[in-house]
Protein backbone atom coordinates (compact mmCIF):
# COMPACT_ATOMS: atom_id res chain seq x y z
CA UNK A 1 0.00 0.00 0.00
CA UNK A 2 1.27 3.43 -0.91
CA UNK A 3 1.63 5.89 1.89
CA UNK A 4 2.31 9.56 1.44
CA UNK A 5 5.00 11.47 3.34
CA UNK A 6 2.37 13.55 5.11
CA UNK A 7 0.61 10.35 6.10
CA UNK A 8 3.78 8.99 7.67
CA UNK A 9 4.43 12.32 9.38
CA UNK A 10 0.92 12.34 10.86
CA UNK A 11 1.34 8.76 12.09
CA UNK A 12 4.70 9.64 13.64
CA UNK A 13 3.23 12.72 15.32
CA UNK A 14 0.30 10.69 16.62
CA UNK A 15 2.51 7.99 18.11
CA UNK A 16 5.33 10.13 19.46
CA UNK A 17 4.50 13.82 19.68
CA UNK A 18 0.97 13.61 21.09
CA UNK A 19 1.95 11.39 24.06
CA UNK A 20 5.09 13.49 24.70
CA UNK A 21 3.37 16.86 24.54
CA UNK A 22 -0.07 16.06 25.96
CA UNK A 23 0.50 12.80 27.82
CA UNK A 24 0.72 14.54 31.19
CA UNK A 25 -2.59 16.34 30.77
CA UNK A 26 -5.04 13.56 31.53
CA UNK A 27 -8.13 15.69 30.82
CA UNK A 28 -7.02 16.43 27.27
CA UNK A 29 -5.90 12.82 26.76
CA UNK A 30 -9.27 11.50 27.89
CA UNK A 31 -11.02 13.86 25.48
CA UNK A 32 -8.78 12.66 22.65
CA UNK A 33 -9.39 9.00 23.46
CA UNK A 34 -13.15 9.60 23.61
CA UNK A 35 -13.03 11.40 20.26
CA UNK A 36 -11.08 8.50 18.76
CA UNK A 37 -13.65 6.00 20.04
CA UNK A 38 -16.33 7.99 18.23
CA UNK A 39 -13.99 8.15 15.22
CA UNK A 40 -13.58 4.37 15.19
CA UNK A 41 -17.33 3.79 15.14
CA UNK A 42 -17.73 6.55 12.54
CA UNK A 43 -15.23 4.78 10.28
CA UNK A 44 -16.98 1.42 10.70
CA UNK A 45 -20.31 3.12 10.08
CA UNK A 46 -18.98 4.91 7.00
CA UNK A 47 -17.96 1.59 5.47
CA UNK A 48 -21.66 0.72 5.29
CA UNK A 49 -23.22 4.17 5.16
CA UNK A 50 -20.90 6.22 2.99
CA UNK A 51 -19.50 3.48 0.78
CA UNK A 52 -22.46 1.13 0.41
CA UNK A 53 -25.31 3.59 0.99
CA UNK A 54 -26.75 1.61 3.89
CA UNK A 55 -27.57 4.05 6.65
CA UNK A 56 -27.59 2.15 9.93
CA UNK A 57 -29.03 3.39 13.21
CA UNK A 58 -28.15 0.08 14.81
CA UNK A 59 -24.42 0.33 15.40
CA UNK A 60 -24.92 0.90 19.11
CA UNK A 61 -25.91 -2.79 19.22
CA UNK A 62 -22.50 -3.87 17.90
CA UNK A 63 -20.79 -1.47 20.28
CA UNK A 64 -22.73 -2.87 23.25
CA UNK A 65 -22.44 -6.53 22.29
CA UNK A 66 -18.69 -6.16 21.73
CA UNK A 67 -18.36 -4.56 25.15
CA UNK A 68 -20.42 -7.20 26.93
CA UNK A 69 -18.77 -10.17 25.23
CA UNK A 70 -15.30 -8.89 26.02
CA UNK A 71 -16.16 -7.95 29.61
CA UNK A 72 -17.83 -11.27 30.37
CA UNK A 73 -15.05 -13.31 28.75
CA UNK A 74 -12.36 -11.57 30.81
CA UNK A 75 -14.35 -11.64 34.05
CA UNK A 76 -15.88 -15.14 33.93
CA UNK A 77 -13.58 -17.14 31.64
CA UNK A 78 -10.29 -15.43 32.41
CA UNK A 79 -9.53 -14.63 28.77
CA UNK A 80 -6.66 -12.08 28.42
CA UNK A 81 -7.97 -8.58 27.75
CA UNK A 82 -6.43 -8.03 24.28
CA UNK A 83 -7.67 -11.42 22.99
CA UNK A 84 -11.10 -10.79 24.51
CA UNK A 85 -11.31 -7.50 22.62
CA UNK A 86 -10.99 -9.33 19.31
CA UNK A 87 -13.55 -11.88 20.49
CA UNK A 88 -15.81 -8.94 21.34
CA UNK A 89 -15.61 -8.04 17.66
CA UNK A 90 -16.48 -11.63 16.78
CA UNK A 91 -19.42 -11.40 19.18
CA UNK A 92 -20.66 -8.33 17.33
CA UNK A 93 -20.42 -10.26 14.05
CA UNK A 94 -22.52 -13.03 15.58
CA UNK A 95 -25.04 -10.39 16.64
CA UNK A 96 -25.06 -9.03 13.09
CA UNK A 97 -26.00 -12.53 11.84
CA UNK A 98 -29.38 -11.97 13.48
CA UNK A 99 -29.71 -8.75 11.48
CA UNK A 100 -29.21 -10.37 8.07
CA UNK A 101 -32.95 -10.33 7.23
CA UNK A 102 -32.84 -6.52 7.52
CA UNK A 103 -30.52 -6.40 4.48
CA UNK A 104 -33.54 -7.09 2.30
CA UNK A 105 -34.83 -3.64 3.16
CA UNK A 106 -33.55 -0.41 1.66
CA UNK A 107 -33.10 3.19 2.67
CA UNK A 108 -35.12 4.40 5.65
CA UNK A 109 -36.68 0.96 6.16
CA UNK A 110 -33.25 -0.56 6.63
CA UNK A 111 -32.28 2.23 9.03
CA UNK A 112 -35.38 1.79 11.18
CA UNK A 113 -35.42 -2.00 11.20
CA UNK A 114 -31.80 -2.18 12.30
CA UNK A 115 -32.60 0.34 15.04
CA UNK A 116 -35.29 -2.03 16.31
CA UNK A 117 -32.81 -4.91 16.25
CA UNK A 118 -30.37 -2.86 18.28
CA UNK A 119 -33.00 -2.49 20.95
CA UNK A 120 -33.41 -6.26 21.23
CA UNK A 121 -29.81 -6.61 22.36
CA UNK A 122 -30.23 -3.91 24.97
CA UNK A 123 -33.24 -5.78 26.39
CA UNK A 124 -31.21 -9.01 26.38
CA UNK A 125 -28.42 -7.34 28.33
CA UNK A 126 -30.91 -5.95 30.84
CA UNK A 127 -32.92 -9.13 31.38
CA UNK A 128 -30.23 -11.83 31.27
CA UNK A 129 -29.22 -10.96 34.81
CA UNK A 130 -27.23 -14.12 35.59
CA UNK A 131 -24.69 -13.37 32.87
CA UNK A 132 -24.79 -9.63 32.33
CA UNK A 133 -25.58 -8.46 35.83
CA UNK A 134 -28.79 -6.88 34.54
CA UNK A 135 -29.39 -3.19 34.82
CA UNK A 136 -26.99 -2.95 37.77
CA UNK A 137 -24.24 -3.62 35.24
CA UNK A 138 -20.75 -5.02 35.59
CA UNK A 139 -18.27 -3.27 37.83
CA UNK A 140 -14.47 -3.58 37.90
CA UNK A 141 -14.06 -4.96 34.39
CA UNK A 142 -10.35 -5.87 33.97
CA UNK A 143 -8.03 -3.10 32.78
CA UNK A 144 -5.51 -3.29 29.98
CA UNK A 145 -2.41 -5.29 30.94
CA UNK A 146 1.12 -4.06 31.47
CA UNK A 147 3.16 -4.99 28.43
CA UNK A 148 6.98 -5.08 28.64
CA UNK A 149 6.94 -2.73 31.60
CA UNK A 150 4.59 -0.27 29.92
CA UNK A 151 1.23 0.24 31.59
CA UNK A 152 -1.37 0.08 28.79
CA UNK A 153 -4.16 1.01 31.17
CA UNK A 154 -2.74 4.50 31.64
CA UNK A 155 -4.26 7.31 29.58
CA UNK A 156 -1.30 7.27 27.21
CA UNK A 157 -1.36 3.47 26.96
CA UNK A 158 -5.07 3.44 26.11
CA UNK A 159 -4.47 6.19 23.60
CA UNK A 160 -1.82 4.09 21.85
CA UNK A 161 -4.15 1.07 21.73
CA UNK A 162 -7.05 2.98 20.18
CA UNK A 163 -4.66 4.73 17.80
CA UNK A 164 -3.36 1.37 16.59
CA UNK A 165 -6.91 0.06 16.18
CA UNK A 166 -7.84 3.09 14.10
CA UNK A 167 -4.79 2.67 11.87
CA UNK A 168 -5.70 -0.96 11.23
CA UNK A 169 -9.27 0.12 10.44
CA UNK A 170 -8.04 2.79 8.04
CA UNK A 171 -5.83 0.25 6.28
CA UNK A 172 -8.76 -2.19 6.02
CA UNK A 173 -11.05 0.56 4.73
CA UNK A 174 -8.48 1.52 2.10
CA UNK A 175 -8.01 -2.06 0.93
CA UNK A 176 -11.77 -2.61 0.68
CA UNK A 177 -12.42 0.68 -1.07
CA UNK A 178 -9.84 0.12 -3.80
CA UNK A 179 -10.80 -3.52 -4.38
CA UNK A 180 -13.40 -4.83 -6.81
CA UNK A 181 -15.76 -5.05 -3.86
CA UNK A 182 -15.28 -1.37 -3.12
CA UNK A 183 -16.25 -0.41 -6.67
CA UNK A 184 -19.25 -2.73 -6.47
CA UNK A 185 -20.29 -1.16 -3.16
CA UNK A 186 -20.17 2.31 -4.62
CA UNK A 187 -22.15 1.08 -7.62
CA UNK A 188 -24.76 -0.42 -5.32
CA UNK A 189 -25.29 3.06 -3.96
CA UNK A 190 -26.57 4.07 -7.41
CA UNK A 191 -28.69 1.07 -8.33
CA UNK A 192 -28.76 -2.35 -6.75
CA UNK A 193 -30.54 -3.95 -9.71
CA UNK A 194 -27.88 -2.68 -12.09
CA UNK A 195 -25.10 -4.10 -9.92
CA UNK A 196 -26.81 -7.48 -9.94
CA UNK A 197 -27.05 -7.34 -13.71
CA UNK A 198 -23.29 -6.80 -14.00
CA UNK A 199 -22.71 -9.93 -11.93
CA UNK A 200 -22.42 -8.72 -8.35
CA UNK A 201 -23.95 -10.94 -5.68
CA UNK A 202 -25.23 -7.88 -3.87
CA UNK A 203 -26.83 -9.78 -1.00
CA UNK A 204 -23.56 -11.48 -0.12
CA UNK A 205 -21.62 -8.25 -0.52
CA UNK A 206 -23.93 -6.38 1.83
CA UNK A 207 -23.71 -9.17 4.39
CA UNK A 208 -19.90 -9.17 4.24
CA UNK A 209 -19.75 -5.40 4.73
CA UNK A 210 -22.17 -5.65 7.65
CA UNK A 211 -19.85 -8.24 9.23
CA UNK A 212 -16.74 -6.11 8.77
CA UNK A 213 -18.49 -3.02 10.08
CA UNK A 214 -19.94 -4.93 13.05
CA UNK A 215 -16.53 -6.40 13.87
CA UNK A 216 -14.85 -3.00 13.91
CA UNK A 217 -17.60 -1.48 16.06
CA UNK A 218 -17.51 -4.45 18.43
CA UNK A 219 -13.76 -4.15 18.94
CA UNK A 220 -14.14 -0.45 19.69
CA UNK A 221 -16.92 -1.25 22.17
CA UNK A 222 -14.67 -3.81 23.83
CA UNK A 223 -11.83 -1.30 23.96
CA UNK A 224 -14.12 1.20 25.64
CA UNK A 225 -15.26 -1.21 28.37
CA UNK A 226 -11.71 -2.09 29.40
CA UNK A 227 -10.84 1.57 29.28
CA UNK A 228 -13.63 2.70 31.65
CA UNK A 229 -13.89 -0.62 33.57
CA UNK A 230 -17.63 -0.40 33.97
CA UNK A 231 -20.63 -1.46 31.96
CA UNK A 232 -24.39 -1.19 32.16
CA UNK A 233 -27.05 -1.68 29.45
CA UNK A 234 -28.24 1.92 29.16
CA UNK A 235 -24.69 3.10 28.67
CA UNK A 236 -23.44 0.27 26.43
CA UNK A 237 -26.39 0.45 24.05
CA UNK A 238 -26.91 4.21 24.26
CA UNK A 239 -28.14 5.85 21.09
CA UNK A 240 -25.26 8.30 21.35
CA UNK A 241 -22.89 5.54 20.16
CA UNK A 242 -24.55 5.73 16.78
CA UNK A 243 -25.80 9.31 16.50
CA UNK A 244 -22.46 10.97 17.22
CA UNK A 245 -20.58 8.77 14.71
CA UNK A 246 -23.26 9.44 12.07
CA UNK A 247 -22.91 13.18 12.62
CA UNK A 248 -19.14 12.77 12.48
CA UNK A 249 -19.17 10.66 9.31
CA UNK A 250 -21.51 13.02 7.48
CA UNK A 251 -19.80 16.09 8.86
CA UNK A 252 -16.34 14.83 7.95
CA UNK A 253 -16.93 13.90 4.37
CA UNK A 254 -18.64 11.64 1.96
CA UNK A 255 -16.64 8.59 0.84
CA UNK A 256 -13.34 9.85 2.17
CA UNK A 257 -11.38 7.68 4.57
CA UNK A 258 -10.16 10.43 6.84
CA UNK A 259 -13.48 12.29 6.79
CA UNK A 260 -15.17 10.29 9.54
CA UNK A 261 -12.06 10.56 11.75
CA UNK A 262 -11.52 14.26 11.19
CA UNK A 263 -15.25 14.75 11.66
CA UNK A 264 -15.28 12.78 14.92
CA UNK A 265 -12.34 14.62 16.43
CA UNK A 266 -13.70 18.01 15.35
CA UNK A 267 -17.29 17.37 16.35
CA UNK A 268 -16.44 15.79 19.68
CA UNK A 269 -13.78 18.25 20.76
CA UNK A 270 -15.75 21.32 19.67
CA UNK A 271 -18.80 19.91 21.42
CA UNK A 272 -16.98 19.15 24.66
CA UNK A 273 -14.65 22.14 24.83
CA UNK A 274 -16.85 24.94 23.51
CA UNK A 275 -20.55 24.09 23.32
CA UNK A 276 -20.60 22.35 26.68
CA UNK A 277 -19.30 25.54 28.29
CA UNK A 278 -21.86 27.66 26.51
CA UNK A 279 -24.90 25.46 27.21
CA UNK A 280 -24.14 22.91 29.95
CA UNK A 281 -27.19 20.75 29.14
CA UNK A 282 -28.55 20.15 25.68
CA UNK A 283 -25.38 21.34 23.98
CA UNK A 284 -25.89 18.70 21.26
CA UNK A 285 -28.48 21.13 19.90
CA UNK A 286 -25.74 23.22 18.34
CA UNK A 287 -24.26 20.11 16.70
CA UNK A 288 -27.56 19.53 14.94
CA UNK A 289 -27.66 23.11 13.70
CA UNK A 290 -24.04 22.83 12.56
CA UNK A 291 -24.81 19.63 10.65
CA UNK A 292 -27.68 21.33 8.87
CA UNK A 293 -25.45 24.26 7.96
CA UNK A 294 -22.80 21.85 6.70
CA UNK A 295 -25.28 19.98 4.51
CA UNK A 296 -26.48 23.26 3.00
CA UNK A 297 -23.12 24.92 2.44
CA UNK A 298 -20.76 22.01 1.86
CA UNK A 299 -22.66 18.80 1.13
CA UNK A 300 -19.34 17.02 0.57
CA UNK A 301 -18.42 17.55 4.23
CA UNK A 302 -15.49 19.07 6.04
CA UNK A 303 -12.74 17.45 3.95
CA UNK A 304 -13.57 19.20 0.64
CA UNK A 305 -13.92 22.46 2.57
CA UNK A 306 -10.42 22.05 4.03
CA UNK A 307 -8.99 21.19 0.63
CA UNK A 308 -10.65 24.21 -0.93
CA UNK A 309 -9.04 26.34 1.78
CA UNK A 310 -5.53 25.09 1.05
CA UNK A 311 -6.05 25.46 -2.68
CA UNK A 312 -7.00 29.09 -2.21
CA UNK A 313 -3.88 29.66 -0.16
CA UNK A 314 -1.78 28.12 -2.95
CA UNK A 315 -3.42 30.39 -5.47
CA UNK A 316 -2.71 33.43 -3.34
CA UNK A 317 0.95 32.52 -2.85
CA UNK B 1 -30.58 -21.22 -28.38
CA UNK B 2 -32.65 -19.44 -25.76
CA UNK B 3 -36.07 -20.98 -25.28
CA UNK B 4 -38.81 -19.20 -23.43
CA UNK B 5 -41.77 -21.52 -22.97
CA UNK B 6 -45.22 -20.68 -21.54
CA UNK B 7 -43.83 -18.06 -19.21
CA UNK B 8 -46.09 -16.35 -16.72
CA UNK B 9 -44.57 -13.69 -14.48
CA UNK B 10 -45.38 -10.40 -12.84
CA UNK B 11 -44.98 -8.26 -9.79
CA UNK B 12 -46.68 -9.66 -6.71
CA UNK B 13 -50.40 -10.03 -7.29
CA UNK B 14 -50.23 -8.35 -10.69
CA UNK B 15 -49.46 -10.74 -13.51
CA UNK B 16 -47.86 -9.21 -16.60
CA UNK B 17 -46.76 -12.02 -18.91
CA UNK B 18 -49.43 -14.47 -20.06
CA UNK B 19 -47.96 -17.70 -21.45
CA UNK B 20 -45.21 -16.11 -23.49
CA UNK B 21 -43.22 -18.45 -25.73
CA UNK B 22 -40.34 -17.18 -27.83
CA UNK B 23 -37.30 -18.99 -29.11
CA UNK B 24 -34.11 -17.12 -29.87
CA UNK B 25 -31.79 -18.92 -32.32
CA UNK B 26 -28.05 -18.78 -31.63
CA UNK B 27 -26.04 -16.20 -33.55
CA UNK B 28 -29.10 -14.27 -34.70
CA UNK B 29 -30.80 -11.08 -33.71
CA UNK B 30 -34.31 -11.44 -32.35
CA UNK B 31 -36.28 -8.29 -31.74
CA UNK B 32 -39.28 -7.92 -29.49
CA UNK B 33 -41.40 -4.89 -30.25
CA UNK B 34 -44.63 -3.60 -28.85
CA UNK B 35 -46.25 -0.62 -27.22
CA UNK B 36 -45.59 0.54 -23.66
CA UNK B 37 -46.96 -1.83 -21.06
CA UNK B 38 -46.82 -4.85 -23.36
CA UNK B 39 -44.48 -6.68 -20.97
CA UNK B 40 -41.28 -6.47 -23.01
CA UNK B 41 -39.10 -5.25 -20.18
CA UNK B 42 -40.72 -7.66 -17.74
CA UNK B 43 -39.85 -10.51 -20.10
CA UNK B 44 -36.20 -9.42 -20.19
CA UNK B 45 -36.18 -9.06 -16.41
CA UNK B 46 -37.62 -12.55 -16.14
CA UNK B 47 -34.81 -13.92 -18.34
CA UNK B 48 -32.26 -12.23 -16.07
CA UNK B 49 -33.89 -13.59 -12.93
CA UNK B 50 -34.91 -10.16 -11.66
CA UNK B 51 -38.58 -11.22 -11.79
CA UNK B 52 -39.55 -14.76 -10.66
CA UNK B 53 -41.60 -16.98 -12.96
CA UNK B 54 -44.92 -18.29 -11.73
CA UNK B 55 -45.22 -20.71 -14.62
CA UNK B 56 -43.22 -21.94 -17.62
CA UNK B 57 -39.50 -22.26 -18.18
CA UNK B 58 -36.54 -20.44 -19.69
CA UNK B 59 -33.73 -22.57 -21.05
CA UNK B 60 -30.36 -21.68 -22.53
CA UNK B 61 -28.93 -24.41 -24.76
CA UNK B 62 -31.14 -26.93 -22.98
CA UNK B 63 -30.08 -25.91 -19.46
CA UNK B 64 -32.71 -24.21 -17.29
CA UNK B 65 -31.97 -20.54 -16.68
CA UNK B 66 -34.88 -19.77 -14.39
CA UNK B 67 -34.22 -20.15 -10.71
CA UNK B 68 -30.58 -19.12 -11.00
CA UNK B 69 -29.58 -15.78 -9.50
CA UNK B 70 -29.19 -12.62 -11.53
CA UNK B 71 -25.50 -12.28 -10.69
CA UNK B 72 -24.69 -15.78 -11.98
CA UNK B 73 -25.97 -14.85 -15.47
CA UNK B 74 -22.63 -13.37 -16.58
CA UNK B 75 -20.91 -16.68 -15.85
CA UNK B 76 -23.46 -18.37 -18.10
CA UNK B 77 -22.56 -15.97 -20.89
CA UNK B 78 -25.65 -13.75 -20.60
CA UNK B 79 -25.33 -9.99 -20.21
CA UNK B 80 -28.04 -7.36 -20.03
CA UNK B 81 -27.94 -3.75 -21.13
CA UNK B 82 -30.81 -2.41 -19.07
CA UNK B 83 -33.45 0.13 -19.97
CA UNK B 84 -32.55 3.67 -19.00
CA UNK B 85 -28.83 2.66 -19.19
CA UNK B 86 -28.45 2.26 -15.40
CA UNK B 87 -24.87 3.44 -15.48
CA UNK B 88 -23.17 4.30 -12.20
CA UNK B 89 -23.11 8.09 -12.26
CA UNK B 90 -20.77 8.68 -9.34
CA UNK B 91 -18.05 6.53 -10.84
CA UNK B 92 -15.63 7.09 -13.70
CA UNK B 93 -16.17 5.54 -17.10
CA UNK B 94 -13.29 3.16 -16.56
CA UNK B 95 -14.72 2.04 -13.20
CA UNK B 96 -18.10 1.49 -14.83
CA UNK B 97 -16.46 -0.70 -17.44
CA UNK B 98 -14.41 -2.62 -14.89
CA UNK B 99 -17.58 -3.38 -12.97
CA UNK B 100 -18.93 -5.04 -16.11
CA UNK B 101 -16.25 -7.68 -15.58
CA UNK B 102 -16.92 -8.17 -11.88
CA UNK B 103 -17.16 -12.00 -11.65
CA UNK B 104 -13.78 -13.51 -10.74
CA UNK B 105 -13.54 -15.50 -13.96
CA UNK B 106 -13.82 -12.29 -16.02
CA UNK B 107 -11.26 -10.16 -14.18
CA UNK B 108 -8.24 -11.64 -15.93
CA UNK B 109 -9.48 -10.56 -19.36
CA UNK B 110 -10.98 -7.28 -18.11
CA UNK B 111 -8.10 -5.09 -19.30
CA UNK B 112 -8.10 -6.58 -22.80
CA UNK B 113 -11.89 -6.31 -23.06
CA UNK B 114 -11.69 -2.74 -21.86
CA UNK B 115 -9.34 -1.87 -24.73
CA UNK B 116 -11.71 -3.62 -27.15
CA UNK B 117 -14.58 -1.54 -25.79
CA UNK B 118 -12.57 1.66 -26.25
CA UNK B 119 -11.80 0.64 -29.83
CA UNK B 120 -15.51 0.17 -30.50
CA UNK B 121 -16.51 3.35 -28.66
CA UNK B 122 -13.64 5.84 -29.13
CA UNK B 123 -15.52 8.64 -27.40
CA UNK B 124 -15.47 6.68 -24.14
CA UNK B 125 -11.73 6.31 -24.43
CA UNK B 126 -11.28 10.08 -24.52
CA UNK B 127 -13.27 10.42 -21.31
CA UNK B 128 -12.18 7.39 -19.38
CA UNK B 129 -11.42 9.29 -16.18
CA UNK B 130 -14.57 11.42 -16.24
CA UNK B 131 -17.55 10.69 -14.04
CA UNK B 132 -20.22 8.79 -15.92
CA UNK B 133 -22.82 11.29 -14.72
CA UNK B 134 -21.30 13.92 -17.03
CA UNK B 135 -22.02 11.94 -20.21
CA UNK B 136 -24.73 12.87 -22.68
CA UNK B 137 -27.62 10.48 -23.26
CA UNK B 138 -25.99 8.95 -26.33
CA UNK B 139 -22.63 8.53 -24.65
CA UNK B 140 -24.30 7.02 -21.59
CA UNK B 141 -26.00 4.45 -23.82
CA UNK B 142 -22.64 3.65 -25.44
CA UNK B 143 -21.17 3.20 -21.96
CA UNK B 144 -24.00 0.86 -20.99
CA UNK B 145 -23.35 -1.17 -24.16
CA UNK B 146 -19.61 -1.23 -23.55
CA UNK B 147 -20.16 -2.33 -19.96
CA UNK B 148 -22.43 -5.13 -21.14
CA UNK B 149 -19.72 -6.33 -23.51
CA UNK B 150 -16.99 -6.41 -20.83
CA UNK B 151 -17.74 -10.02 -19.95
CA UNK B 152 -17.64 -11.01 -23.65
CA UNK B 153 -21.18 -12.47 -23.47
CA UNK B 154 -22.59 -14.95 -25.97
CA UNK B 155 -26.14 -13.78 -25.35
CA UNK B 156 -26.81 -10.04 -25.18
CA UNK B 157 -30.10 -8.74 -23.88
CA UNK B 158 -30.68 -5.12 -24.81
CA UNK B 159 -33.62 -3.09 -23.54
CA UNK B 160 -34.72 -0.05 -25.59
CA UNK B 161 -31.29 1.32 -26.44
CA UNK B 162 -32.66 4.11 -28.65
CA UNK B 163 -34.84 5.58 -25.89
CA UNK B 164 -34.57 9.36 -25.90
CA UNK B 165 -31.68 9.57 -28.35
CA UNK B 166 -31.17 11.84 -31.36
CA UNK B 167 -31.67 10.22 -34.81
CA UNK B 168 -27.96 10.45 -35.63
CA UNK B 169 -27.05 8.62 -32.44
CA UNK B 170 -29.76 6.04 -33.11
CA UNK B 171 -28.18 5.34 -36.52
CA UNK B 172 -24.80 4.92 -34.90
CA UNK B 173 -26.31 2.60 -32.31
CA UNK B 174 -27.87 0.32 -34.87
CA UNK B 175 -24.62 0.14 -36.82
CA UNK B 176 -23.01 -1.16 -33.64
CA UNK B 177 -25.80 -3.68 -33.16
CA UNK B 178 -25.22 -4.94 -36.70
CA UNK B 179 -21.52 -5.29 -35.89
CA UNK B 180 -22.22 -7.24 -32.72
CA UNK B 181 -24.48 -9.55 -34.70
CA UNK B 182 -21.73 -10.02 -37.29
CA UNK B 183 -19.39 -11.03 -34.48
CA UNK B 184 -21.68 -14.01 -33.98
CA UNK B 185 -23.38 -12.93 -30.76
CA UNK B 186 -26.95 -13.92 -30.02
CA UNK B 187 -28.97 -10.78 -29.37
CA UNK B 188 -32.40 -10.14 -27.91
CA UNK B 189 -33.40 -6.57 -28.67
CA UNK B 190 -36.41 -4.81 -27.23
CA UNK B 191 -37.27 -1.71 -29.25
CA UNK B 192 -39.94 0.88 -29.98
CA UNK B 193 -38.28 2.00 -33.17
CA UNK B 194 -39.93 -0.67 -35.31
CA UNK B 195 -38.43 0.48 -38.59
CA UNK B 196 -34.83 0.25 -37.35
CA UNK B 197 -35.39 -2.87 -35.26
CA UNK B 198 -36.97 -4.87 -38.07
CA UNK B 199 -34.18 -3.69 -40.37
CA UNK B 200 -31.44 -5.23 -38.28
CA UNK B 201 -33.34 -8.29 -36.98
CA UNK B 202 -33.59 -11.88 -38.17
CA UNK B 203 -36.76 -12.58 -36.21
CA UNK B 204 -39.54 -10.28 -35.09
CA UNK B 205 -42.00 -10.80 -32.24
CA UNK B 206 -44.77 -8.35 -31.47
CA UNK B 207 -46.05 -8.26 -27.91
CA UNK B 208 -49.28 -6.74 -26.69
CA UNK B 209 -50.79 -6.83 -23.18
CA UNK B 210 -48.43 -9.54 -22.04
CA UNK B 211 -48.93 -11.85 -25.03
CA UNK B 212 -47.02 -12.53 -28.21
CA UNK B 213 -49.39 -11.61 -31.04
CA UNK B 214 -47.05 -12.04 -33.99
CA UNK B 215 -43.87 -14.05 -34.63
CA UNK B 216 -42.25 -13.93 -38.04
CA UNK B 217 -38.88 -13.94 -39.74
CA UNK B 218 -37.87 -10.32 -40.32
CA UNK B 219 -37.80 -10.76 -44.09
CA UNK B 220 -41.51 -11.59 -44.16
CA UNK B 221 -42.62 -8.70 -41.98
CA UNK B 222 -44.33 -5.82 -43.67
CA UNK B 223 -44.03 -2.68 -41.62
CA UNK B 224 -47.50 -1.52 -42.56
CA UNK B 225 -49.14 -4.72 -41.34
CA UNK B 226 -46.99 -4.52 -38.22
CA UNK B 227 -47.99 -0.96 -37.49
CA UNK B 228 -51.64 -1.84 -37.95
CA UNK B 229 -51.30 -4.51 -35.28
CA UNK B 230 -49.17 -2.21 -33.15
CA UNK B 231 -51.77 0.50 -32.94
CA UNK B 232 -54.79 -1.85 -32.78
CA UNK B 233 -56.67 -2.16 -29.53
In angstroms, the CA B177 to CA B115 distance is: 19
Q: What is the pLDDT of residue A316?
A: 47
Nearest to A179 by CA among B107, B45, B169, B197: B107
User: pLDDT-derived band of residue A2, with 50, 70 and 90 as boundaries?
Assistant: low
What average pLDDT does the segment B36-65 reach? Answer: 91
State the average pLDDT over residues B106-134: 88
Residue A42 within any structural domain of the chain: yes
Beta-strand runs (E) in B25-98? 29-33, 53-60, 63-64, 78-81
Q: Determine, yes or no, domain membership for A173.
A: yes
Mean pLDDT of A201-224: 92
Give yes or no for residue B174 having a pLDDT over 90.
yes
Answer yes or no: do A197 and B98 touch at CB < 8 A.
no
Examine residue A206 and state whether it is found in any structural domain, yes or no: yes
pLDDT at A183: 86
Provide the pLDDT confidence category of residue A13 given band limits of 50, 70 and 90.
confident
Mean pLDDT of B199-220: 91
Asked if the C-beta of A106 comes within 8 angstroms of chain B's C-beta atoms, the answer is no
Which of A190, A195, A199 is the mutation pick for testing B, counting most B CBs within 10 A? A199
Residue A229 belongs to a domain: yes
Q: Do A190 and B106 touch (CB under 8 A)?
A: no
* Number of compact structural domains in chain A: 1
Under the banding of pLDDT at 50, 70 and 90, the label for residue A311 is low
Chain B nearest-CA distance from A94, in A, is 26
SS (H, E, C) A118-175: HHHHHHHHHHCHHHHCHHHCECCCCCCCEECCEECCCHHHHHHHHHHHHHHHHHHHHH
Domain B2-77+153-231: homologous superfamily in CATH: P-loop containing nucleotide triphosphate hydrolases (3.40.50.300)
Q: What is the mean pLDDT of chain A?
A: 84
* C-beta atoms of B80 and A189 within 8 A: no
Least confident of A266-280, B26-40, B42-56: A266-280
For residues A310 and A223, the model is more confident at A223
Mean pLDDT score across all residues of chain B: 89
Confidence of residue B156 (pLDDT cuts 50, 70, 90): very high
Pairing of strands B203-208, B211-217: antiparallel
Q: Is the pLDDT of residue A153 over 80?
A: no
In this predicted structure, what is the pLDDT of residue A245? 85
ipTM higher than 0.90?
Answer: no
Residues of chain B contacting A195 with CB distance shorter than 8 Å: 99
Which residue in B74, B86, B90 is closest to A199 by CB distance?
A: B74
Residue A274, in any domain of the structure: no
Q: Parse chain B into domains and list their residue ranges.
A: 2-77+153-231, 86-146
Residue A317 has pLDDT above 50, yes or no: no
Q: Helix, strand or coil for residue A273?
A: helix
For residue B220, give the DSSP letter: G
A234-243, A246-255, B203-212 — most confident range: B203-212
Q: How many CB pairs under 8 A join A and B?
A: 65
* DSSP annotation of B38: S
Segments forming the whole domain that contains residue A63: 26-240
Of A97-101, A121-125, A293-297, B46-50, least confident by mean pLDDT is A293-297
**Average pLDDT score over residue span A312-317:** 50
Asked if residue A24 has pLDDT above 90, the reply is: no
How many whole angstroms from its chain centre is CA A96? 15
- Calpha distance A296→B21 (Å, rounded): 53
| Cβ–Cβ below 8 Å for B102 and A194 | no
| A186 within domain boundaries | yes
pTM of the full predicted structure? 0.82
Confidence of residue B40 (pLDDT cuts 50, 70, 90): very high
Amino acid sequence: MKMSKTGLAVIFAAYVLVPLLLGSNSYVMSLIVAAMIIGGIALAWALLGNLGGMVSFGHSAFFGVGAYVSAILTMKAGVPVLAAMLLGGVGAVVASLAMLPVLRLRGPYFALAILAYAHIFKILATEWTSVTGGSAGLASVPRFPTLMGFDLSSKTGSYLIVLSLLLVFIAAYRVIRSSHYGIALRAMHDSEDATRVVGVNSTLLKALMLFVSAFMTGVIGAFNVHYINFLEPDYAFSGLWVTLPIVAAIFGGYRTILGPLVGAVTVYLVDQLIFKNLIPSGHQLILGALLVAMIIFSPGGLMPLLRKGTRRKHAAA
Amino acid sequence: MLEIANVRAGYGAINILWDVSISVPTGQLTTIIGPNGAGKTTLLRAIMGLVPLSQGSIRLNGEPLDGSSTWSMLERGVAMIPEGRMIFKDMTIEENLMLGAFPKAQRASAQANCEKAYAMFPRLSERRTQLAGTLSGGEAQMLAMARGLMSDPKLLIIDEPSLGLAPVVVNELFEILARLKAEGRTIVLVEQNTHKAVGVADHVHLMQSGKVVLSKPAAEVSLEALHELYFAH
